[in-house]
A and B are shown apart, each in its own frame.
Chain A
Amino acid sequence: MTDVNGTSQHTFDTVAQPTWCPGCGNFGIHTAIKNAFTQLGLVRNEIAVVTGIGCSGNTAQWYNTNVFHSLHGRTLPVATGIKLANHELTVLAEGGDGDGLGIGVGHLVHSIRRNLDITYIIHDNRVYGLTTGQTSPTSVKGFVTKSTPTGVIEIPVNPIALAISSGATYVARGYSGDIEHLTKLIADGIKHNGFALIDATQVCVSFNHANTYSWWAERIYRLEDDETYDSRDKMMAFERSQEWGERIPTGLFYREERATYEDELPQIADRPLVGQSMDVDITELMGEHV
């Protein structure tokens, strides 16, 4: 099951097959991520994928890379620790909307402002999948689930607006039904030197009967197709992030260049922490306390 000999180091399929429901949007997102790895010519052992807990988090098993299947909501702190210890690794984190915008939303805001060179993908199915269909932070007001039989009272979190206002340097929305487009957004996000957030909207065929394939197909358009749109304009990006309803924008909302967290640490300018000597002399340090 786990022997991957005989395949190229640039392919990322495992022998094991995903166990998602037939038609699940996770297939599209998972495929797009693997495609992006391949397109960028990445090597398996130089990638670390960190996933959360949820149907989306189970994806860890189906990459033949280094993987860390972490806790619900804690993908970003784990990914941060990995990146700071060895910034030569390509670090990609992914999890559900519950994982990243519910239980883990605190980490998301701080990871964004930190701007580590990590790519973060939200599997945004607007419902809790693995726990069999409760409301999620991105469920719309009025959404009826097992835990909200009379409809959700709150309004949903807007991950794009949240990211822009938190100081994100790369913010995009993709759609699991448009793998080619999503692949490009993810590949560009990985190439981006800084924290890249990709809100990957997806269907959940089992528990979200509102946002179906046809529902998405009728609404989404690509920002690239709008010639007036400038993804370097933060105000424009914020304004466009509010668009939701008849038309839903996908593509790159916002991008800026800013030094990454790692860039600002002279300790790792020459080599990552993992490559550094552990033989430390503290004689002088002790002398300072006499």
Chain B
Amino acid sequence: MDNNRLSWMMGGEAGVGIMAADMVFSKTCTRGGLHIFSTVDYPSLIRGGHNVSHVQVDKEKVYSHAQQVDILVALNRETIDLHLDELSENAAIIYDGDNIELSYEDLKRQDVTLCNVPIGNLIKTNSLPKIVANTVALGASFGLVKYDLSILEGVLRDTYERKGESVVESNLKAAKAGFDYTAKNYAGTFTRSISPIHHPSGGTVGNSGTDDTGKKDVTTEKRMVITGNDAIAMAAIRAGLKFYSAYPMTPASSILHFLAAHERRFGYIVKQTEDEIAAINMAIGASYAGVRSMTGTSGGGFSLMSEALGLAAITETPLVAVWGQRPGPSTGLATWTEQSDLRFALSASQGDFQRIVMAPGDASECFYETIRAFNLAEKYQVPVIIMTDKYLAESHESVDIFDTSSIKIDRGDIIAPTDENEDVQNSYFKRFALTDSGISPRAFPGAHAGLVRVESSEHDEYGDYTENEDLRQAMVDKRFAKFDGVLSDLGEDAIKIMGEGTENETQKNENKNAITMISWGSIKGPIKEASKLLANDGILVRHAHVLYINPFDTKKMESIIKSADTTILVENNKGAQLGGVIKEKTGLDVDHTLLKYNGREFYPEEIYRKVKEIVGAVEAKS
């Protein structure tokens, strides 16, 4: 059995603290030097309904969720009924036998450890409030896998500190009660374990260092536990964001929450608006006035934003918009995941104009590509759409502290203010100067570089209304011409290729590009995990992750498809929308498509099985 690998799940009714437990479990593993990837599934309800946290733990970087569950913590009966099929061999179920009746006959299998923890009773005997049931279960989980209780205690302390000492105390007691119970009664029979690689108080385990700074952790490798949305928000702050306007909508809302929590600390303004139309128009106004601005929403909100996307385009006002996808049409599945808005993003709003459409695949990409999004938006004076989905936006990942030392802020061509010359200050600025590159230098109102005039109708170089046929054509051409530079700026990053050059020489020659998977956005993670599974079977896959869908690197995609024996397109939608883009741009077809649209992200196992099936069929033929 693989030590230091674990798939842990906790389920219960909404409102019992599944999300809090998810974070505590994840941080406890991460602070011990392990990696995690966690998802929280919940219905669009505040109480009642079924919530599940699912955390993958590994000593190596873990890129996605997985189908199998090694420890199932059931705070209600429904959790068992719904997830029984997902239990791995020799898994354990942690449950309170006083509330949930469970027997081997029920399960129809004998390999599972039935870990009956009297959660309610432990709460009673320790005179704890009922609300700490989730913490007792957390303690019981770590006791079962023989982890270090003190790390859990540290996380609980940090998590509940702001709620007061008595809350901290009852959680510490609850955790210890659960931990001791399973350690004593079940840890011997359950064979899986996880242990810290290093201790948060410093140094590696077995060679433990001392904590000389007091409270702060001094781990050698510090890792954050963050979501894609957290990474986007952090990046925006680092990029010098000054204005964020949004209307709440899952799965974009946590960007609004994150940014709002820190607005005074970092000195920017967050505005929850009356609707998405206001949100995007305010962001455009702020950007015109000279600051970096951003808005965020989901597909429904973007439907309302569409008209103003064109306003940003024709006024050449830089704009960054985050688009967290969820299943549609209409309200669809509000708290689930899908990638079905790509075609809409590529063509939203009337008229011919260019917009950058980009889809990061994990939290790190969310961070670095958001920084780049701001730079591209200002350099090219175009709207930039960052597409995520519920899975990426809300799943937690352990990631190394971001390297911010090499980050550059490029605001593009801005005319410096001229304080002396009143004539210049008060005459019209050539905001839409026709230049060779198509990029016109910017100036801001009130910045003493001239009067800045912008117009949602077609306009001349000074931003004044025109219906002149030559000017109209020149302006359309200009707005397209400036876009030409984007792809060369992106270089090899427009489509990222993974899994190339990792194989040894013989394998390389035999297997070169035999299987190429093509995907965009959050499927990056499940494909990476599937690739690990396939590698165990000696199957090497190359993975083309289309990070930028517009501009599209047609040449690169052509060469990827032409050099592959078999291509498999993987998308979280019904219509194979990226496949359509590929066909439109390259004229080429992919060999196989793997599509999923039940509101759930792909499991690596599903991708693994599909590839095995295809490889099997290929081998049978030859």
Contacts and interface: CB of A to CB of B under 8 A. Distances in A.
Interface of A: 1-5, 9, 16, 43-46, 48, 50, 53, 58, 60-61, 64-71, 74, 76-86, 88-89, 106-107, 109-110, 265-268, 273-274, 276-283, 285-287, 289-290
9 contacts: A9-B426, A45-B426, A61-B455, A80-B271, A273-B242, A274-B446, A278-B240, A279-B240, A280-B238
A267 B267 contact: yes
Contact of B451 (A45, A69, A267): A45
Contact of B243 (A3, A9, A85): A85
Contacts of A286: 224, 234, 401-402
Nearest to B226: A289
Contact of A82 (B262, B289, B453): B289
A133 B428 CA distance: 34
B157 to A, nearest CB: 14
Contact of B286 (A82, A107, A265): A82
B404 A273 contact: no
Nearest to A271: B267
A82 B31 contact: no
Interface string B268-298: 1101011101110111111111111100000
Contacts of B278: 74, 76-77, 80, 106-107, 110
Contacts of B223: 290
Given A16-B464, A267-B267, 13 more contacts: A48-B446, A66-B445, A80-B278, A82-B285, A85-B285, A86-B290, A86-B291, A86-B445, A267-B269, A274-B444, A278-B292, A285-B234, A290-B222
A279 B241 CA distance: 10
A71 B401 contact: no
Nearest to B285: A81
A290 to B, nearest CB: 5
A285 B245 CA distance: 21
B576 interface: no
A106 B274 contact: yes
Given A274-B444, A286-B401, A71 B426 contact: no
Contacts of B275: 106
B404 A282 contact: yes
Contacts of B234: 282, 285-286
Given A2-B428, A285-B237, A287-B222, A68 B288 contact: yes
Contacts of B307: 71
Contact of A70 (B224, B291, B311): B311
A3 B428 contact: yes
Nearest to B223: A290
A283 B444 CA distance: 31
A214 B94 CA distance: 85
Nearest to B402: A286
B448 A45 contact: yes
A68 B219 CA distance: 52
Interface string B207-244: 00000000001010011111000100010011110110
B84 interface: no
A107 B274 contact: yes
B271 A84 contact: yes
Given A61-B465, A67-B454, A69-B454, A267 B264 contact: yes
A274 B290 contact: yes
Given A3-B427, A45-B426, A78-B282, A70 B456 contact: yes
Contacts of A67: 451, 453-455, 463
A273 B293 CA distance: 11
Contact of B289 (A3, A45, A89, A276): A89
A71 B222 contact: no
Given A69-B455, A84-B286, A287-B222, A61 B464 contact: yes
Interface of B: 27, 30-31, 217, 219, 222-226, 230, 234, 237-240, 242-243, 245, 262-264, 266-269, 271, 273-275, 277-279, 281-293, 307-308, 311, 315, 401-402, 404, 409, 422-423, 425-428, 444-448, 450-457, 460, 462-465
A2 B291 contact: no
Contacts of A69: 454-457, 465
Contacts of B290: 85-86, 274
Given A9-B426, A280-B266, A283-B404, A84 B222 contact: no
Contact of A267 (B263, B285, B444, B456): B263
Of B274, B290, B401, B455, chain A has the most CB atoms within 10 Å of the CB of B274
A123 B585 CA distance: 48
A67 B460 CA distance: 14
Contacts of B422: 9
Nearest to B278: A77
Given A4-B427, A9-B426, A69-B456, A85 B217 contact: no
A45 to B, nearest CB: 5
Contact of A81 (B286, B425, B450, B453): B286
Nearest to A52: B456
B462 to A, nearest CB: 4
B469 to A, nearest CB: 18
B455 A60 contact: yes
A91 B266 CA distance: 26
Nearest to A73: B277
B242 A276 contact: yes
Contacts of A280: 237-238, 240, 266
A289 B427 contact: no
Contacts of B225: 289-290
B285 A290 contact: no
A65 to B, nearest CB: 6
Given A81-B288, A82-B288, A290-B217, A66 B446 contact: yes
B445 A89 contact: yes
B427 A5 contact: yes
B269 A273 contact: yes
A224 B223 CA distance: 68
Contacts of B293: 81, 85
Contacts of A60: 453, 455
A66 B425 CA distance: 11
Contacts of B242: 85, 273-274, 276, 278
Contacts of A109: 274
B409 A278 contact: yes
Contacts of A66: 445-446, 451-453
Contacts of B281: 70-71, 74, 77-78, 81
Of A77, A265, A274, A282, chain B has the most CB atoms within 10 Å of the CB of A77
A278 B611 CA distance: 47
Contacts of B27: 290
Given A71-B311, A77-B278, A106-B275, A48 B445 contact: yes
B277 A273 contact: no
A132 B410 CA distance: 46
B31 A77 contact: no
B186 to A, nearest CB: 31
